[in-house]
Chains A and B, each alone.
Chain A
Amino acid sequence: MIIAEQKPFEEVKSLVGEAQKILVVGCGTCVTVCFAGGAREAAILAASLRMASKLDGDPKDVTDVTVQRQCEWEYLDTIAEQVNEADLILSLGCGIGVQAIAEHFPKAWVVPGLNTSFLGLPVEQGVWVERCAACGDCILGLTAGICPIARCSKSLLNGPCGGSQDGHCEVNEDIPCAWQLIYDRLKSLDKLELLSEIRPPKNWRTSRDGGPRKIVRPDLRLCEEE
């Protein structure tokens, strides 16, 4: 899922600026699960902004609402009235949610309340780690289900490098060496022969190097009206 974290409160206050009627929009999907922008976080941020603005002598009208998914028009339609009444929308969705609101409501001024961090998972309560770089050309089938693109600091295809020390990355000893993990797992699965093949340079055109990406599925598209 998409992992995000809230921007510092001072930055949020500066983004809000002089707006008087603010709608904090939470998202009920990824950012709810990572406790960054769900209904509870939206309510906490709205309450914090109300109190801080009152203490600053400029009380603002801050309300909050949470939609199931900010990244789909159908869910955004449910808050159209509230969006139109607000001076400013403070989105607690990921970067996609912020842009979806901006695209769906052309007259709304929307600002982000989160920094969208990475694609990952919670490995324990309160700890999230990166697991996918969305490179568009998955090689997990060759690397025992451990992604060297996302988890190796150098995104090496033929690792480990000389910076791998006792199973840790030279970038930071808190980072496990992805290629050590791959080696250990392939060995435990008796598939070390997969490492004997040298991988050619990766085709990065499926990643960001090809510009903004797009997928079109003709079988799923609705028929155009005649």
Chain B
Amino acid sequence: MSDVNTDYQIVAFCCQYCAYAAADLAGGLRLQYPPNVKIIQIPCTGKMDVLYALQAFEAGADAVMVAGCMPGDCHFLEGNLNAMRRVERVKDLLRQIGLEAERIKMFHISSSMASQFVSATEEMLRTVEKLGPNPLRMNGKASRKETHVRRVS
């Protein structure tokens, strides 16, 4: 984990009943996950708003992960299913804006799935490493080219 580029910022909106507890358990089990992940606890992924994700990207986040309960296990019955549809909406908006839709992804992680939480964060980091930093953080298109050159070199 020592070679992780800590410049990358991944915002994780985690449901307090599952993924947030899984992250907590990962800590308890001393499982290491990328330090790039900044967790925001939400009462249910049903609280996840399209605007939250857009604000994260506008503020410079390289990726956003939304982690909720397993399908059928939502504490509020279907908050996680609503979140899935909103994540799809954000993907559409990102494409229109000019960002890659892969920068946001929904995960289903129960409170006992600490290792799966770690895998999810590592997957998002790999995605970000492949896509490069959020060009909005680097002042738009010109910087996106520079970023590309820098990554290739």
Contacts and interface: CB of A to CB of B under 8 A. Distances in A.
Interface of A: 9-10, 40, 43-44, 47-48, 50-52, 54-57, 59
B98 A55 contact: yes
B39 interface: no
B144 interface: yes
B132 to A, nearest CB: 13
Contacts of A48: 54, 93, 96-97
Size band of the interface chain B makes with A: 10 to 19
Interface stretch (B3-11, B112-120, B133-141): B133-141
Contacts of B93: 9, 44, 48
A10 B96 CA distance: 8
Contact of B51 (A9, A40, A57): A40
Describe A's contact surface by its main secondary structure.
helix
Contacts of A10: 96
11 contacts: A9-B93, A44-B50, A44-B54, A44-B93, A47-B54, A48-B97, A51-B57, A52-B97, A52-B98, A55-B97, A55-B140
B144 A55 contact: yes
A57 B145 CA distance: 12
Contacts of A59: 139-140
A9 B58 CA distance: 17
A20 B97 CA distance: 17
Q: Which label, helix, strand, loop or mixed, suits the secondary structure of the B interface?
A: helix
B146 to A, nearest CB: 12
Interface string B66-96: 0000000000000000000000000001001
Contact of B58 (A40, A51, A56, A57): A51
B51 A51 contact: no
Contacts of A57: 140-142
A127 B141 CA distance: 38
B55 interface: yes
B98 A56 contact: yes
Contacts of B97: 9, 48, 51-52, 55
B99 interface: yes
B140 A56 contact: yes
Nearest to A51: B97
Contact of B99 (A40, A50, A51): A51
Contacts of B54: 44, 47-48, 51
B136 A54 contact: yes
A51 B93 CA distance: 11
Interface string B124-137: 00000000000110
B45 to A, nearest CB: 17
